[in-house]
Amino acid sequence: MDNLTIPSELAGKRLDDALAQLSGQSRNRIQQLLTSGMVTSASGRLKASRKVKVGELFTLSLPPSTPLTLIPEAIPLDILFEDDHLLVVNKPAGMVVHPSYGHDTGTLVHALLHHCPELPGINGVQRPGIVHRLDKDTSGALVVAKDEATMRALSELFSTHDLERQYVAWCRGRPLWQCHTIELPLARHRHHRQKMAVCHNGKEAITEANCEFRHRLNMSRIRLTLHTGRTHQIRVHLSHLGLPILGDPLYARPFNPSKSFPKALRAAIIALPGQALHAELLAFTHPITKAEIHCVAPRPSVLATLDEVLIDSQC
């Protein structure tokens, strides 16, 4: 039970907005609590839209969080950072982040529920707060909130792009540029609903690209920094520039390297389970403790091997 007093800076705000800011709960959650009578005041009946006054006192009663109707699974996690508020994991390629149709087991959420059995809950449900996602076959650093306040604060960091996200991609093609800012708006593909496409009236999408290595056999390694977070942003941007990511099943044509390729390089390319894309760095200011968090996710063995044989076969 929390007693919340309206300070001067929140005077005139909507009740749901003011209580959300004071409690760390989401505005939607506050509305649910108001509807269910879990917010009380000497003012009597409370409406979410009514304006609050300085000094008003409200009592907020949070019911126990409802368990999520998923069975936790003891799936090993590569934890890069963890405290009471959040954790950063190195997600493996092949793992879906959130349960969905066709993916009702083995997801990151299932693993997190086992790793964090005492989650306080988000929006009244005991679940981890997925702030952003990585595609199934993209590996790398992903941050997860453990509580409502951290979830809201991390969501704000992502919406304002006030954090650093660097990816590494291994591509077909060799760009003529060394550094390039890709500003191409994205929207859902008109005919293939599982795909995104460059579209003049799409949403703004900005990717900063730096070519780190060019291979004589028309391949390259490119480091990418996201300034927006659109679905499939890196994959679409690189493909549009004629630099499709190796192994990408959606945005690259099938590629079976010829026998003229060095044997080790050919084997490394064929071994790719999906797109050769890795979220290598995630850095941000911790929204609660204000500590600087800097996480570097080790590359999975299949990508480490690909990179090694690319460099060796260049000689």
**What is the 3 state secondary structure string of the chain?**
CEEEECCHHHCCCEHHHHHHHHHCCCHHHHHHHHHCCCEEECCCCCCCCCECCCCCEEEECCCCCEECCCCCCCCCCCEEEECCCEEEEEECCCCCCCCECCECCCCHHHHHHHHCCCCCEECCEECCEECCCCCCCCEEEEEEECEHHHHHHHHHHHHHCCCEEEEEEEEECCCCCCEEEEECCEEECCCCCCCEEECCCCECCEEEEEEEEEECCCEEEEEEEECCCCCCHHHHHHHHCCCCECCCCCCCCCCCCCCCCCHHHHHHHHCCCCCCEEEEEEEEECCCCCCEEEEECCCCHHHHHHHHHHHHHHC
Q: Tell me whether residue 135 is one of the annotated catalytic residues.
A: yes
Which of 135, 147, 248, 307 does the annotation list as catalytic? 135
Q: Catalytic amino acids?
A: 135
